[in-house]
Amino acid sequence: MKRIQRLLQRAAKAPLYRKKFAGLKPRAVRDLRSFSATIPPTRLEELAAEKLKGAASLSPRLCVGRGPRAIFQLEYDTQPALYLALDRADLRGYAQVLAHCWSLVGLRKGDRVAIFDYGTSPLSYLAASSFTPYLDRGTADLLGCLPVCNDGVANMSPRAVEILRYVRPRVFFIRHDCLHALTMEVERQALRLADYTQALVAAENESLLSDEERRSFEKRLGVPIYRLLRIDAAMFLAMECPRCRLLHCRRDAYFVETLAEGDGAAENPLVVTNWFAGTSPTVRYLSQVRGSIEPSGCPSGPKDLRIAV
Ligand SMILES: [Zn+2]
């Protein structure tokens, strides 16, 4: 309850929510159930429409009085472009969430990690304090890992392969749209990828590799591929667990629901509330990803929220 109150207090300082929640009676929100029933979800299109109206402001979710330290353009095809503003505490919380993802795929102190992704992807900018100003401890710093980054464009695949051969990262993070080009390059060089890395993690904003695509790439590359779900507008990261194969995320960082659309589908759009985002509060963000919430209890993270997608 304290968490909900704190979140709503912060949200009242952001133009979008101030307008949206104007008629809301704070007393109506007593618990998570009434929170879901009372607070309307927010769609990406709404963020873009609000940004268009208030063209002078950086973001309709930016809290008045919070000076952001780092600003990233979000990877969505909206007009106008949307930005995410973060301060030191936001960056800290976000990097801790990514550390949870890294730990779940077995990354430990001393491990080398390679990232083949854009600089505007949280997988890249949260990885190390040396990459991002005001990020006091990046994910690699928290876990004692050694990160290497490569630009996330497909024609950088030959260099990504050089990194694999030279760095031999334990885990290789890659964005979906580079996976095909990397696979072609590995095949062209007739490499046995398992000699250089133990696993690939494929990620994309608000999208997941299908099971069929995953199996096909695993067959061609000869290493397991795990999926990482990014919902960047909500500063959300969830990692596919090698043990249970569901997506895990930290319960103290997020509240995740699904929005039933009345068509009886087993999987519905995921709605994410972020507890740590202070500068750009995220209150019931309605994502484009469909899934279902599964009970907790995996031995690899007994308290984690689990999502099937
Ligand atoms: Zn699990």
Q: In angstroms, what is the span from residue 205 Cα to ligand 1's centroid? A: 21
Alpha helices, H only, the chain: 2-11, 15-20, 32-38, 44-53, 88-104, 122-125, 139-143, 157-167, 176-188, 211-221
Structure tokens at 45: 């299109």
Q: In angstroms, what is the span from residue 258 Cα to ligand 1's centroid? A: 20
**Cis check: omega of the bond before 80, within 30 degrees of 0:** yes
H/E stretch holding 308 reads strand 305-308
pLDDT tens for the chain, residues 1 to 309: 899 999 999 999 999 999 999 988 878 899 999 999 999 999 999 999 999 998 768 899 999 887 899 999 999 999 999 999 999 999 999 999 999 999 999 999 999 999 999 999 999 999 999 999 999 999 999 999 999 999 999 999 999 999 999 999 999 999 999 999 999 999 999 999 999 999 999 999 999 999 999 999 999 999 999 999 999 999 999 999 999 999 999 999 999 999 988 778 889 999 999 999 999 999 999 999 999 999 999 999 999 999 999
pLDDT above 90 as % of the chain: 91
Q: In angstroms, what is the span from residue 247 Cα to ligand 1's centroid? A: 7
Q: In angstroms, what is the span from residue 295 Cα to ligand 1's centroid? A: 11
Task: Give the C-alpha separation, 223 to 122, whole Å.
Answer: 24
Angle between helices 157-167 and 176-188 (to 10 degrees): 70
Q: In angstroms, what is the span from residue 253 Cα to ligand 1's centroid? A: 17
Which neighbouring-strand residues pair with 248? 239, 306
Q: In angstroms, what is the span from residue 235 Cα to ligand 1's centroid? A: 21
Q: In angstroms, what is the span from residue 228 Cα to ligand 1's centroid? A: 13
Tokens 């904003």 sit at which residue?
Answer: 205
SS3 178: helix
Q: In angstroms, what is the span from residue 182 Cα to ligand 1's centroid? A: 28
Q: In angstroms, what is the span from residue 210 Cα to ligand 1's centroid? A: 19
Q: In angstroms, what is the span from residue 301 Cα to ligand 1's centroid? A: 6
Write down how long the chain is.
309
pLDDT tens digits, one per residue of 33-77: 999 999 999 999 999 999 999 876 889 999 988 789 999 999 999
Q: What one-character-per-residue DSSP string does 57-118 give?
A: SS-TTPPTT---SEEEE-SS--SS--EEEE-HHHHHHHHHHHHHHHHHTT--TT-EEEEES-
Q: In angstroms, what is the span from residue 249 Cα to ligand 1's centroid? A: 10
Q: In angstroms, what is the span from residue 203 Cα to ligand 1's centroid? A: 18
Task: Give the C-alpha separation, 7 to 281, whole Å.
Answer: 7
Q: In angstroms, what is the span from residue 95 Cα to ligand 1's centroid? A: 20
pLDDT tens digits, one per residue of 266-280: 899 999 999 999 999
Q: In angstroms, what is the span from residue 151 Cα to ligand 1's centroid? A: 30
